[in-house]
Every structure is written in C-alpha cells, then in structure tokens.
Amino acid sequence: MNRPRTIVSFILALTLAAVALAAELKPAELRKLTQQERSQDGFKGDSVGTPVKVVGVGEKKKDFWLIPVFQGDKLAAVYRDDPRRESVTEVAKATALRFCRADLFEASSAAQELTRAGVENPQPVLISCGPLSAFGATNTGWYQRVGESFVLLSLGGKLISESEVEQFWPEYLPVLRAFRP
C-alpha cells in the first residue's frame, strides 16, 4: 500500500536531482571556479578571461561555456563548464592552443575578422558540432550565415566556406546547413 507512494517519491527525487544537475553555472561563478582550479594546479598570476557561450549543433545539441585563461597576452589554457561536478574541466593546454588567437574568444573580434573577409553585418555564433579538425583543440568555431550559405571561422582565424566543408568534412554539412542561429 505504501509502494505507490514510495515510487512517486523516488520519481520526484530523481526529477529534482536532474533539475539540480541541469542548473547552469553563471559566468562569474565559472571565472571563480577556473581561477581556483588554476591556483590548485600551481599556476599563479593567470588571468581568467570572460566565459563565452558555445551553442551545441547536431545530435547532442548541448550548449556549454568556454573559459579562456591567459598568461600575459598568450592563451595558457581553455576550460569548459562541467555541470555534473558543478565545476570546470580543462579542454586544452597552451601547446594545443598555439594556433588559436586569443582575441577570437570574443564575438566582436570574430565579427571584425568576418567583416575583413567581406561579410556584411556579421553576427557570428560560437558553435560546436563535434570533433571538426578545422576547429582545433577546442572543437569550437564561429558560424555565420551568408545568404542561403554559411562560413565558419576557426579560433585560429581560418575562414572555411561551405564548399570546403562539403569537400573535407561532408558528414557535418547537413547539420551546418540546417542550423539557424
């Protein structure tokens, strides 16, 4: 007789736990957690950059945050949020980031780069669609619609056209064509 009540209580507890896990950390909390993580690893004097939202595209469609860390004007590491641990996890170290440009972790810099490439009124969206080699160690890059087509901008500053995606990464083409920011 108490069995239905127990089952309902169990389902409610699972639902509440899932909601708690899904709670998103705020950018200020992410910066603080990243700084703590770097300090624990013995890195002093690092500057934690502004967290940037990444839109998950494709099957997983899981959005996340990237947090760049600088030593002087160079990228030292990149972290991402880890909601399960309510913490951050290192994605890449300085050696893997040597081809990334620190300024391209900001939408305004990506927009300037796209403008220089001839895109009018760019409004780039930072995306991740899986392990796309052109995006490098972070597996993220800027997406920009251009008419019925699109271009991608890697965090290293390389502009990638839709035809290049079709030629080198055809498995990502349907997902990227269908994406509408």
Max Cα distance, the chain (Å)? 71
The predicted structure's pLDDT at residue 41: 82
The predicted structure's pLDDT at residue 11: 53
CA atoms within 13 A on the CB side of 27: 10
The predicted structure's pLDDT at residue 18: 45
The predicted structure's pLDDT at residue 14: 44
Q: What is the pLDDT along the chain (181 residues), one digit of tens a residue?
A: 556 555 545 454 444 444 444 457 788 999 999 999 888 888 877 799 999 999 999 866 789 999 999 988 889 999 999 888 889 999 999 999 999 999 999 999 999 999 999 999 999 999 999 888 889 889 999 999 999 999 999 999 999 999 999 999 999 999 999 999 8
Cα 115 from chain centre: 22
pTM above 0.85, yes or no: no
The predicted structure's pLDDT at residue 68: 96
